[in-house]
Amino acid sequence: MSRVNRFLLPLGGFALLVLLLVVGLKQAPDKGIIVSPLVGKPAPALVLPTLMDPSVTIDAAQRYKGQWYLLNVWGTWCVECRYEHPALLELQKTAGIPILGMDWRDDEATAQQWLKELGNPYDQVVSDKEGRVALAWGVYGAPETYLINPEGVIVTKRVGSMTPAIWEKQFLPLMEQRK
């Protein structure tokens, strides 16, 4: 092996390693967030009793047939949801599409009290007491917000608080593409 190679080979190897790590870091800015395989797929069934009256059942696919809607997963045990709440109230006024709330693994009375105190941004609220529907939707932590198009396909998903900025950057452009 020539003298030059003895320096160039390890140096080249090191450069490759650096390149690999840089690419890896750039491509995973938020590696704790699971990219949902459900984005771009038809929304799973969502048939649940409402929070206000358990004898009334809502089928999301039927209720929002042919229109855009947001599904917001929350719970009174979820601290982040409290921070998110004002943004949802704002969206109710400005977004122009209904928000379906899914109260996840929660106590109904506490949840009703929460909405009375903080205001109700939802078109309807359903209760997923056992967490079965949440599993079908691939929910792994509250709050989570899904955007569903008029064909019933999940267009995007936000894990964590909704904010006006997220709405404008991540959600709104997807709706405007269609117009």
Distance between CA atoms of residues 76 and 111, nearest Å = 6
37 is a site residue for other proteins (CB under 8 A): yes
Helix spans in 2-105 (H) = 3-27, 60-63, 79-94
131 is a site residue for other proteins (CB under 8 A): yes
Residues paired with 71 in a beta bridge: 100, 146
7 is a site residue for other proteins (CB under 8 A): no
Report in angstroms the alpha-carbon separations of 70 from 9, 112, 118, 153, 163. 55, 20, 19, 12, 13
29 is a site residue for other proteins (CB under 8 A): no
Residue found by looking up tokens 């938020």 in the block: 30
* Min CB(79)–other proteins separation in Å: 14
34 is a site residue for other proteins (CB under 8 A): yes
* Min CB(95)–other proteins separation in Å: 26
Shorter beta-carbon distance to other proteins: residue 104 or 167: 104
136 is a site residue for other proteins (CB under 8 A): yes
Distance between CA atoms of residues 144 and 24, nearest Å = 26
Site size toward other proteins (CB under 8 A) is 19
Residues that bind other proteins (CB under 8 A): 32, 34-38, 44, 105, 130-132, 134-141
